[in-house]
Amino acid sequence: MTTSRVHITPHMHWDREWYFTTEESRILLVNNMEEIMLRLENDPEYKYYVLDGQTAVLEDYFAIKPENKQRVKALVEAGKLIVGPWYSQTDTMQVSGESIVRNMLYGMRDCLALGEPMKIGYLPDSFSMSSQLPMIYNGFDIETAMFWRGCSERHGTDKTEFLWQSNDGSEVMAQVLPLGYAIGKYLPQDEEGLRARLDKYFPVLEKPSVTKDILLPNGHDQMPIQKDIFEVMDKLREIYPDREFVMSRFEEVFDRIREERDNLDTIKGEFNDGKYMRVHRTISSTRMDIKLIHAEVENKIVNILEPLAAIAWTLGFEYHHGLVEKMWKESMKNHAHDSIGCCCSDKVHAEILNRYILADDMATNLITFYKRKIVDHMPACEGCDKLAFFNLSPYEREEVINTTITIRADKFNLFDNEGNPVEYFIQDQRVIDPGKIDRQIVHYGNYDPFIEYDIQIKYTVPAMGFTTLHIQGSQDGAQKAVKSTSEYLENEFYQISVNSNGTLTVLDKETQMTFDQVLRVEDGSDDGDEYDYSPSRQEWLLYSDEFDVDTSIKHEASSLLRPSKHA
């Protein structure tokens, strides 16, 4: 009687960078790819090879070996070289949901240029699993998921196969790799060596399995193919005659799980339990300089650039898909679990930061380009400058807007398209040398200065749209005066005051709850490693309220500012 069927799947897990750089791994990649392709092309028994579920590795390879693209394509079309569905092996907790969707979108598209993608949500090493992944997978017609980290019986099942649901009811069949993706790496040919490993592994794999079809992934990080795998499999059949050993692809395991669907538990929620494997939760706070520019670039592309590009497209301007893809891919190379986790070497972190700087520069300049195109499209008023406001949210917004205008006038009038005056408040103003605005002006002998005004306006802007105001220099305008003398920052929901120690007291008017010592900052040390935080054995903690603080109140037309400065 067969105890279990053991599926041996050749694969490699490819960290593009980690304690080594992308270029260091690329050198190994060129060699590994040649070995993989030669074996797949010349050995009909060596049926499959999984290329880590990401196409970025192929992008790196084709940059050096473009002449081999047809060889790769032929193997993908034949179903032997298994690619995708991701662009990079994304983390799912440190990046936004939109980034996860784009990662799959660009990965799928890259795959389809070569053949069919692997339709499995394959994340063998990402440090936790977001609860919304089943919904994202279903959106790409993916009904199965395979992962390692974050799962234990505390989630509601002690089985390695189950149905995993998002909050909206989207569902995938999940296969957990309870011992990881590398338990079949470098399998020895001798009985002693095999038993030393597998006598411990098989009970752990078989006990929680519903199907008794268990996985022995034959690969590891940057690992070349195991050339003697068939000799090893013959030895395994000899040592373990009660088990069946087959070389297969992951889809064959899910075929068996599908047969047992009615016997599977249903689980909801995220997987971030570190009971059996490390999930490195504290990577969320490593290298905050990189985490912050990541968040800035993500927000700039998703919430500013792309809505702006859509508005420009409706006006007849080109939607620059190629430029947008370039900045997304630069960012998504950084979304791989080690990269965005910032648990790499300093040299690699410098590369990660440079990619974000590149993506940010591209996004910033394309935003400026679109804004100019749209503003040029707006109606002009003779002798006036334009002041344009954009609302890139899907609802109308009435906001207090702080902006800066630069004109050659010591006063100005602000009005809308119907000629109605618009109130404004001048926060500050500065005289600007004309040469800093346009050097050509000075060449022609025009030395009259410009004045830069920081102004505040309360105005309504339509949903996913824009509005134009007009600036007429050297005219009196509807300048607003300061009326409030309150010492609180207040609206219908909250009342906020600044304490003498630099902290805030916040009153929630709806619940009548008061929150004291808001923004009290604790500064301590970290004696951990690049993955995990650990407090120092002899900790020295500093608190912001232990220092003298100077505070001042500044009233503006539509807001109250109370800057604080630690002495």
Q: 241-259 as b/e, with b when 16 or more CB fall inside 10 Å?
A: eebbbebbbbeebbebbee
Tell me the C-alpha distance between 50 and 9, whole Å: 8
Q: Please say whether the beta carbons of 3 and 205 come within 8 A.
A: no
The three-point CA angle 221-225-226 to 5° equals 110
Residues contacting residue 98 through CB under 8 Å, at least 6 positions apart = 298, 302
- Dig out the tokens for 257 from the structure: 């799980």
Cα 470 to chain center, whole Å? 39
Tell me the C-alpha distance between 351 and 373, whole Å: 33
Secondary structure tally for the chain: helices H, strands E: 15, 26
Nearest Cα to Cα of residue 145 among 167, 160, 127: 160
User: Cis omega (within 30 of 0) on the bond before 85?
Assistant: yes
The three-point CA angle 221-225-228 to 5° equals 130
Q: Which residues are registered as beta bridge partners of 505?
A: 497
Tell me the C-alpha distance between 3 and 307, whole Å: 56
Cβ atoms within 10 Å of 73's Cβ, excluding its own: 14
- Dig out the tokens for 90 from the structure: 């994304």
Q: First and final CA of the chain: distance in angstroms?
A: 78
125 is catalytic: yes
Tell me the C-alpha distance between 118 and 83, whole Å: 6
Q: Which residues are registered as beta bridge partners of 184?
A: none
Q: Please say whether the beta carbons of 139 and 101 come within 8 A.
A: yes
- Longest distance between any two alpha carbons in the chain, whole Å: 98
Cα 3 to chain center, whole Å? 42
Active-site choice (15, 60, 125, 338): 125
| DSSP per position, 404-422 | EEEESSSSEEEE-TT--B-
Residues contacting residue 86 through CB under 8 Å, at least 6 positions apart = 53, 54, 55, 103, 104, 107, 122, 123
Q: Please say whether the beta carbons of 71 and 80 come within 8 A.
A: no
Tell me the C-alpha distance between 492 and 454, whole Å: 27
Q: Is the dihedral of CA 34, 35, 38, 40 positive or negative?
A: negative
Tell me if residue 82 falls in helix, strand or coil.
strand
Active site members: 125
